Amino acid sequence: MSIEFIYPEFEVIRNESRCIACRVCERQCANEVHSYDPERGIMVADESKCVNCHRCVALCPTRALKIVKSDCALRENANWPQSTINEIYKQASSGGVLLSSMGNPNPLPVYWDKILINASQVTNPSIDPLREPMETKVCLGKKKQEIRRDENGKLVCEMTPQLELSVPIMFSAMSYGSISYNAHASLARAATELGILYNTGEGGLHEDFYVYGANTIVQVASGRFGVHKDYLEAAAAVEIKMGQGAKPGIGGHLPGAKIVGDVSRTRMIPEGTDAISPAPHHDIYSIEDLRQLVYSLKEATEYKKPVIVKVAAVHNIAAIASGIARSGADIISIDGFRGGTGAAPTRIRNNVGIPIELALASVDQRLREEGIRDNVSLVVGGSIRSSADVVKAVALGADACYIGTAALIALGCHLCRTCHSGKCNWGIATQRPDLVKRLNPDIGSKRLINLVRAWQHEIKELMGGMGINSIEALRGNRLMLRGVGLNEKELQILGISHAGE
- Interface residues with ligand SF4 (CB under 6 A) are 12, 28-29, 31, 33, 50-57, 67, 101-102, 408, 413-419, 424-426, 428-429
Q: How far is CA 408 from the centre of its chain?
A: 9
User: Which stretch in 87-95, 106-114, 209-217, 470-478 sits in contact with other proteins by CB under 8 A?
Assistant: 470-478
CA distance 402 to 185: 18
Given the complex with other proteins, which of 241 and 478 has the nearer CB atom? 478
Given the complex with other proteins, which of 274 and 369 has the nearer CB atom? 369
Q: CB of 351: closest distance to ligand SF4 in angstroms?
A: 21
CA distance 39 to 37: 6
Q: Which residues contact 49 (CB under 8 A, 6 or more apart)?
A: 31, 32, 33
Given the complex with other proteins, which of 377 and 431 has the nearer CB atom? 377
Nearest to 309 by CA among 371, 221, 247: 221
Q: Is 474 in the site for other proteins (CB under 8 A)?
A: yes
CA distance 79 to 454: 42
- Cis amide linkage into residue 383, ω under 30° from 0: yes
Residue at 375: amino acid letter: N
Given the complex with ligand SF4, which of 308 and 424 has the nearer CB atom? 424
Q: Is 120 in the site for other proteins (CB under 8 A)?
A: yes
User: N- to C-terminal Cα distance for the chain?
Assistant: 61
User: Which stretch in 24-32, 58-66, 77-85, 142-150 sits in contact with other proteins by CB under 8 A?
Assistant: 142-150
Q: Is 310 in the site for other proteins (CB under 8 A)?
A: no
Q: Which of residues 375-414 bind other proteins (CB under 8 A)?
A: 397
Q: Is 304 in the site for other proteins (CB under 8 A)?
A: no
C-alpha triplet 203, 209, 210: angle, nearest 5°: 100
Phi/psi at 289 (nearest 5 deg)?
-70, -35
Q: CB of 6: closest distance to ligand SF4 in angstroms?
A: 16
Q: Is 461 in the site for other proteins (CB under 8 A)?
A: no
H or E element: which one contains 116? Answer: strand 115-117
- Per partner kind, with CB cut-offs from 5 to 8 A, the member of ligand SF4, other proteins, none near residue 337 is none
CA distance 265 to 273: 12
DSSP string for residues in 388-443:
HHHHHHHHHT-SEEEESHHHHHHHT----S-GGGTB-TTSSSB--HHHHTTS-HHH
At 198 the three-state DSSP class reads: strand
* SS3 annotation, 215-274: HEEEEECCCCCCCCHHHHHHCCEEEEECCCCCCCCCCCEECHHHCCHHHHHHHCCCCCCC
- Per partner kind, with CB cut-offs from 5 to 8 A, the member of ligand SF4, other proteins, none near residue 413 is ligand SF4
Given the complex with other proteins, which of 49 and 457 has the nearer CB atom? 457
Q: Is 116 in the site for other proteins (CB under 8 A)?
A: no
Kindly tell me which residue out of 35, 86, 346, 469 binds other proteins, with binding defined by CB under 8 A: 469
- Per partner kind, with CB cut-offs from 5 to 8 A, the member of other proteins, ligand SF4, none near residue 343 is none
Given the complex with ligand SF4, which of 33 and 194 has the nearer CB atom? 33
**# binding residues, other proteins (CB under 8 A):** 40
Given the complex with ligand SF4, which of 103 and 464 has the nearer CB atom? 103
Q: Is 128 in the site for other proteins (CB under 8 A)?
A: no
Q: CB of 268: closest distance to other proteins in angstroms?
A: 36
CA dihedral 446, 449, 451, 453 (to 10 degrees): -140
Buried b (16+ CB within 10 A) or exposed e, 36-45: eeeeeeebeb
Q: Is 143 in the site for other proteins (CB under 8 A)?
A: yes
Q: CB of 363: closest distance to other proteins in angstroms?
A: 13
Yes or no: say if 339 and 348 are a contact pair by the CB < 8 Å rule.
Answer: no
Q: Is 457 in the site for other proteins (CB under 8 A)?
A: no
Q: CB of 84: closest distance to ligand SF4 in angstroms?
A: 22
Q: CB of 229: closest distance to ligand SF4 in angstroms?
A: 32
- Per partner kind, with CB cut-offs from 5 to 8 A, the member of ligand SF4, other proteins, none near residue 251 is none
CA distance 188 to 200: 9
Question: Residue 316, Cβ neighbours under 10 Å: how many?
Answer: 10
Q: CB of 403: closest distance to ligand SF4 in angstroms?
A: 14
Q: CB of 244: closest distance to ligand SF4 in angstroms?
A: 16
Q: Is 2 in the site for other proteins (CB under 8 A)?
A: no
Q: Which of residues 329-368 bind other proteins (CB under 8 A)?
A: 368
Q: CB of 100: closest distance to ligand SF4 in angstroms?
A: 10
Q: CB of 150: closest distance to other proteins in angstroms?
A: 12
H or E element: which one contains 367? Answer: helix 356-369
Yes or no: say if 411 and 183 are a contact pair by the CB < 8 Å rule.
Answer: yes
Which residues are near other proteins by CB under 8 A?
A: 120, 123-125, 127, 132-133, 135, 137-139, 143, 145, 147, 149, 154-155, 157, 159, 162, 368, 371-374, 397, 466-470, 472-480
